Amino acid sequence: TGRSSKGMPYLRTLALSGNRIKETLAATRGGLVDTKFADRLTLKRFTTGCGWIADHPDPKERAAMWAYWRRHLHECLLPTLESRGLLAAWYRLVTATGDARTVYRLTRIATRITDALSLFDKLEARLAAKRH
């Protein structure tokens, strides 16, 4: 299907499936690696939704989808993020001030910077190893 056919029902399905994936990962083992992966996946799915919203051709539906998606982030996703404090704060900040297209760009950059193999995670792993 093309992006133009992805409307509000598709966005709701994306939100529900993201919640299910996170719940399943949390129930399987619940370790720190699983939590970080689930939190990262949650934020990446939100970013993907921003891209779909930004490309939607109908401005009225796009505005409704963006309002729903921001509400979903602030009410459902951000309160459950356990391991991504700084990244979650970034999502909170950029969604408060931007439209879907801007948020899509800014969150894609943030998720690339905080990739599991990024400098930040390597540094965090070294610090944790030194503490133990």
Q: Summarize pLDDT for 27-54 with one digit per residue, the tens.
A: 776 666 667 777 778 888 889 899 999 9
pLDDT in tens, 47-103: 989 999 999 989 999 999 999 999 999 988 888 776 677 888 888 899 988 899 999
3-state secondary structure of 115: coil
Q: What is the pTM of this model?
A: 0.74
Helices marked H in the chain: 8-28, 32-54, 59-72, 85-97, 100-113, 119-131
Residue 87: the pLDDT is 81
CB atoms near residue 8 (< 10 Å):
14
